[in-house]
Amino acid sequence: MKLSVIIPVYNEAGTCSQLIEKVKLVPIQKQIIVVDDCSTDGSGDILTKIDGIELIQHQLNRGKGSAVQSALPYIIGDFVVLQDGDLEYNPADYEKMLIQLENDSADVVYGSRWLEKTSSLSYHTIGNRCITWFANLVTGATLTDMASCYKMMPAEIFRSLDIRSEGFGLEAEITAKVFKKKLRMIEIPISYE
């Protein structure tokens, strides 16, 4: 089984190289697709020097959703996971997410930053809680972290979502379509900094 990791990058020169090295260290067979969304901070130059990745470079900044759409034709893995280009999420969590899919415990696995944790009352946390609450209201779900970057699923399901969002609406679109298709979805706790 192979995992395709999609990493949209925009102005993350300070973290993208280190993040990709962490992804490479995860002991599973994987494909790393990096989409540079027209970074202006030198991220693109850094990425061109990294071996073992498939690099797609946008000539205009188009947003996270567009970056993910650009990666779709390159997916060769059995499963897909989204990964931000900073260091907030730990790629070591892929393994425990992937086990859920390989064991057929779920069709889609979300990594939750808030499951089994108490969180501070920052604007970021409150904002995420509000959009998760709204997503639950609309879909009938009981998610704790709709806006989590870590969403993993089989490649054929990911392709079937027909993603249209260009920006960060991607997270809500994926969630709405997963629930509309009545897919079996679970959340598991992940580390987050």
First-to-last C-alpha distance (Å) of the chain: 29
pLDDT average, residue stretch 127-156 = 72
Give start and end residues of each alpha helix (H) in the chain.
16-25, 43-48, 64-71, 94-102, 123-139, 155-160, 170-180
- At residue 149, does pLDDT exceed 80? yes
Question: Alpha-carbon distance 34 to 136, whole Å?
Answer: 31
Distances (CA, A) of 74 to 38, 44, 69: 19, 19, 10
pLDDT for position 130? 55
- At residue 123, does pLDDT exceed 50? no
pLDDT for position 129? 55
Query: Residue holding tokens 């997916």?
Result: 75
Neighbours of 7 (CB within 10 A): 27
Q: Three-class SS string for 165-184?
A: CCCCCHHHHHHHHHHHCCCC
Q: Residue 145 is encoded by which pair of tokens?
A: 């972290």
Q: What is the pTM of this model?
A: 0.88
- At residue 103, does pLDDT exceed 80? yes
Over the stretch 32-82, which tens digit does the pLDDT of each residue have? 999 999 999 999 999 999 999 999 999 999 999 999 999 999 999 999 999
